[in-house]
A = this chain, B = another copy of it.
Amino acid sequence: MSDHIYKIIELVGSSKSGIEAAIENALARASKTIHHIDWFEVAETRGQVVDGKVGHYQVVLRVGFRLED
């Protein structure tokens, strides 16, 4: 078994529903063009406020995926 190499990219997912939904949205978008996504880390959680309520949650993710040899 060979020594794998991974790449980490940074994405911002957003959602009106909550933090987990923002994460899932970013991963769904990323998996359209990237194969072998393995893990994510939350780097930042923030959001826009509209009329005293959360308009959109925005979650900055670091997303790791394996590079093909």
A residues neighboring B (CB under 8 Å) = 3-16, 18-20, 22-31, 37-42, 44-49, 51-54, 56-57, 60, 62-64, 67, 69
Q: How far is the CA of A15 from the CA of B8 in the complex (A)?
A: 18
Chain B residues lying within 8 Å of A54, measured Cβ to Cβ, are 20, 23-24, 27, 40
Asked whether, in the complex, the Cβ of A8 is within 8 Å of the Cβ of B12, the reply is yes
Q: How far is the CA of A9 from the CA of B53 in the complex (A)?
A: 16
Residue ID in chain B nearest A6 by CB atoms: B12
Asked whether, in the complex, the Cβ of B18 is within 8 Å of the Cβ of A11, the reply is no
Pick from B9, B16, B20, B40: contact of A49, CB below 8 A: B40
Chain B residues lying within 8 Å of A45, measured Cβ to Cβ, are 41-42
